[in-house]
Amino acid sequence: MSQNLISIKSVTKSFTKGKTTITPLENLSLEVPRTEFLSLMGPSGSGKTTLLNLIAGIDSPTSGQIIIDGTDISTLSRAQLTKWRASHVGYIFQLYHLVPILSAYENVELPLLLGNFSKSERKKKILAALDLVGLSDRADHRPSELSGGQEQRVAIARAIVHDPELLVADEPTGDLDRESADSILNLLNTLAKEHGKTIVMVTHDPKASAAAHRALQLEKGQFSSEGNLLNTH
Amino acid sequence: MKLLILALKNLTRNRLRSLLTILGVAAGMFLYSSVQTMQHSLTIATEGNAVDTTLIVYRENRFCPMTSRLPEHYMPTIKRIEGVREVIPIQIAVNNCGASLDVITFRGVPPERLRKYNPNIKVIEGSYEQFVKQTDAALVGQHFAERRGLSAGSKFEAVGVNVTVAGIISSDSPQDENVAYVHLPFLQQASKLGLGIVTQFNVKVESADLLDSIASKIDETFKSDQQPTNTRPEKAFFADTAKQMIELIGFTRWLGLGAVFAVLGLVANAVLLIVRGRVKETAILQTLGFSRLAIGLMVVFEGILLGLVGGLIGVIGAMAFFHYKSFTLGNEGLTLALAPSTSVTLTGLGVAVALGLLASLYPAWKATSRPLVQSLSS
Ligand SMILES: Nc1ncnc2c1ncn2[C@@H]1O[C@H](COP(=O)(O)OP(=O)(O)OP(=O)(O)O)[C@@H](O)[C@H]1O
Ligand SMILES: [Mg+2]
């Protein structure tokens, strides 16, 4: 087993709309070791979300390789990618994106419906995930009955319930107050340290970035600085 | 399975919209089912079948029972023709000769001959003997009795004729269900036509392939008589005589087609709105790993559910409507009972489901064909 969970090799991504071509990522390489909590920062439009989507298998690169846990996902078709995502990635969005008509429990259940789990197995996993994010007592609540911080916790439970190795988060604290943001960051840290998750997080918030093991600065499709941060653990 | 439940839950999200769509579908399917009921009833009445061995002898060039007058004494002559099994003279009196929704038809027949001519008539209430005994007695078709709330022993009046119900009958011939059989001489007197005049003869022949030859033989026999005849198989007679009614019902086919398109447009529009409002959510589900097929199926389920629920209300509503109203369309003394049928009901439901499916195919495709990143960032 390779030591790096993510291995990105000279990836270029461009979007073509009509006659104009935008290349937010050009010849980019990156290695992310297992259980690392990595933060990506950079100005708006620098290609952070684009990179994250490539890592999460939501989009495919124009050229280059993206090898995750030994699989080159840049060669997979759209349908294959969908299947791959179902078992390998948990995605955490800035705006949580829970399904409003489903309870917290049912939202967390969604990824499990794609696997072969019995009802009781699902229940066990869901309760464990909700417990981990500290929301065991809110299982029956609808998203509208939860605070933003709580919604994000449910979203994190949804992202980890099927036990993927990789978690990606696009500005997970961008819409939260300081206190909620800090507790989400603590949670992500715990997931990396104690549960062996590899986490890639995009953020604009230096404090959020400081919570990660390593922070990368993306500018115009290139990493401009790298550091094994100010990190105190 | 879980997808189905999710689709169902999704429909309760915008309750008002779902409800309005379902009501629209129900109205459309009600119309469609009503039209189909008419078409179906008409088909049963006009389409010839192999076992049909009845000829109707009518006055040539006459279409209304009030103007068709034939001498009763033609009967023995017809009876003697080879291949004829049974003949019955019938005097018909109706309250309305044109097209009408509530016709009352009296058929005057020689009482003792009725059973011999048509052994399939079953007396389900009262008795045949009572009918034969009493001059002003009537045997009333089941459908007719239901419509007017009659039972054995009740008296009623129509077209200036007063009768007492001696029995209620059921028969496999739809026409029998909608008439009141009375004594021929009694009706001849009551309708002031006078004895010896009848409207038509009904002739049973030995086998269906003799129908045409016997018909021409009968017409040949009376050709140079004062009252020439025109003889046709019963269903052809129905088709010729009730032309107005048939044309009218034929026209309603277009209404049915219109209803189908209305339902299709309505469901398609509703599902398209649903899909539009949920672009992001659909993208999230795909991010979680739901396949495009699964997402598409969910959209289609929603369309089918709308069609099915609306269809159930509309189709069953139409069935109940025709059942309780028991309409009898009449034209020129012939009656067409608009009766609900299981086949029409089931077809109606099938059509509703198919429309739901058809209407949601495009939205389903639309929901899943966009690139994922694009939907996520919308
Ligand atoms: N689907 C797309 N089609 C065309 N251009 C796109 C698409 N997605 C991103 N881009 C372009 O790529 C560039 C990088 O976008 P990206 O979303 O990765 O930036 P970002 O770093 O996440 O910015 P922000 O901090 O504002 O979220 C932008 O110029 C954007 O307009
Ligand atoms: Mg972004």
Looking at residue B62, its pLDDT comes to 84
Measured CA to CA in angstroms, residue B132 lies from B95, B128, B180 at distances of 25, 6, 14
CATH code assigned at A146: 3.40.50.300
Which of A19-28, A218-227, B171-180 tops mean pLDDT?
A: A19-28
* Residues B156, B258 share a domain: no
Domain carrying residue A54: 33-61+77-226
Stretch B348-371: mean pLDDT:
93
Interface touch A111/B289, C-beta < 8 Å = yes
Query: How far does residue A82's CA lie from ligand 1's centre (Å)?
Result: 22
Q: Kindly state whether residue A105 falls inside one of the protein's structural domains.
A: yes
Written as one letter, the residue type at B107 is R
**Domain-embedded: residue B239:** no
CA dihedral (B73, B74, B79, B83) in degrees, to 10, reads 180
Strand partners, A198: A166
Q: Is the dihedral of CA B47, B49, B52, B53 positive or negative?
A: positive
H or E element: which one contains A166? strand A166-170
**Model confidence over B300-333: pLDDT tens digits?**
999 999 999 999 999 999 999 988 887 777 777 6
Q: Specify if A110 maps to a domain.
A: yes
A15 within a domain of the structure (yes/no)? no
pLDDT (0 to 100) of residue A231: 44
Q: What is the mean pLDDT of chain B?
A: 88
Does residue B93 form part of some domain? yes
Evaluate whether residue A10 is within a structural domain: no
Q: Is the pLDDT of residue A135 over 90?
A: yes
In a domain, B204, yes or no: yes
Is B100 a residue whose pLDDT tops 80? Answer: no
Q: Examine the domain organization and report whether B223 and B249 are in the same domain.
A: no
Judge if B28 and B66 occupy the same domain. Answer: no
Which of A44, A88, A99 is most worth mutating to test chain B (most B CB atoms within 10 A of its CB)?
A: A99
* Domain identity same for B278 and B190: no
Task: Give the distance (Å) from ligand 2 centre to CA of residue A41.
Answer: 10
Res B51 pLDDT > 70: no
In this predicted structure, which of A80-84, B97-101, B193-197, B357-361 has the lowest mean pLDDT?
B97-101
Classify residue B268: in a domain, yes or no. yes
Comparing A233 with A195, the larger pLDDT belongs to A195
Among candidate residues B219, B200, B202, the one with its CA nearest the CA of residue B53: B202
Residue B200 in this model has a pLDDT that exceeds 60: yes
B62-88 tens-digit pLDDT: 888 888 899 999 999 999 999 999 999
Q: What is the pLDDT of residue B116?
A: 87
* Whether B287 and A58 lie within 8 Å, measured CB to CB: yes
CA distance A81 to A66: 12
Listed in sequence order, the residues at least 6 apart from B367 whose beta carbon sits closer than 8 Å to its beta carbon are B275, B278, B279, B282, B295, B296, B299
Residue B51 included in any domain: no
Q: How far is the CA of A25 from the centre of ligand 2 (A)?
A: 13
The ligand with the least distance to the CA atom of B373 is 1
Residue from B279, B372, B374 to probe ligand 1 pocket by mutation (most atoms less than 8 Å from CB): B374
* Total number of domains in chain B: 2
3-state secondary structure of A220: coil
Structure pTM? 0.80
Q: Does A16 reside within a domain?
A: no
Residue range(s) defining the domain that contains residue B327: 2-46+244-377
- What single letter denotes the amino acid at residue A56? A
The number of C-alpha atoms within 13 Å of A57 and in the hemisphere containing its C-beta is 30
pLDDT band at A225 (very low <50, low <70, confident <90, very high): low
Specify the DSSP class assigned to residue B357: H
Burial of A33 (0-12, 13-18, 19+ CB in 10 A): middle
Domain co-membership, B75 together with B175? yes
Q: Domain check: are B121 and B209 in the same one?
A: yes
Q: Which residues pair with B201 in a beta bridge?
A: B57, B89
Is B101 a member of any domain? yes
Residue B50 has pLDDT above 60, yes or no: no
The answer to whether residues B42 and B98 belong to one domain is no
Q: Which numbered ligand comes closest to the C-alpha of A17? A: 1
In whole angstroms, what separates CA B44 from the centre of its chain? Answer: 8
The stretch B200-207 carries a mean pLDDT of 92
Domain shared by B69 and B130, yes or no: yes
Q: What value does the mean pLDDT take over residues A32-59? A: 93
**How many structural domains is chain A composed of?**
1
